[in-house]
Amino acid sequence: MADDEKTVPDDSIDLRGVLCPINFVKTKLKLEMMDAGQILEVILDDGEPIRSVPRSLKEEGHKIIKVENKEGAYRLLVKKT
């Protein structure tokens, strides 16, 4: 089993139904409350959210560990840097 498959997030935020850029802002605020090295699970809708949020997080310097499709939504694991 790969490391990312057994990665347990330190916190989680479900942003289904939340529009851009609010979903990125909420993700960023959640990450600001976490310690460096911790992992946040973000649940996002298909389309604009899954295209924009991971890109914006990378631009902020965070590491995208995993993106997986889960029943019409996406599960994103982000490591705070």
Residues with catalytic roles? 20
Q: Which of 1, 10, 2, 24 is nearest to 77 (CA)?
A: 10
